[in-house]
Amino acid sequence: MGHGFGQLYKLRGIITYRLSPFELKAFSGILSHGVPNSLRRIKDEILYVVPPLLMGYVIYDQVEKEHHRLMRKNPADYENDQ
């Protein structure tokens, strides 16, 4: 059992290729492929994300305004106090 982890069995007829992590370029293509792909994905999903968030914000804002309005004291109730 002199093999390392992941090398404990032998597959016949399957060829695997590996690159050393030291030979990879971590940021290759980030400007030419990464940014346009991110913009495309944002454009595709914006119609699914923004309307529910906008509707939730409007509902939250209206509920908070109504809550503050209901919590205020009515000044007409205290006109004749001395």
Asked whether 1 and 8 are in contact (CB, 8 A), the reply is yes
Confidence of residue 39 (pLDDT cuts 50, 70, 90): very high
Cα gap 25→19, rounded to integer Å: 11
**Over the stretch 13-32, which tens digit does the pLDDT of each residue have?**
777 777 777 777 878 888 99
Q: Is the pTM of this model over 0.75?
A: no
Q: CA-to-CA distance for 74 and 55, rounded, in angstroms? A: 31
| Burial of 79 per CB tally in 10 Å (0-12, 13-18, 19+) | exposed
Q: Where are the domains of the chain?
A: 46-72
| Residue 54 exposure: Cα atoms within 13 Å on the Cβ side | 6
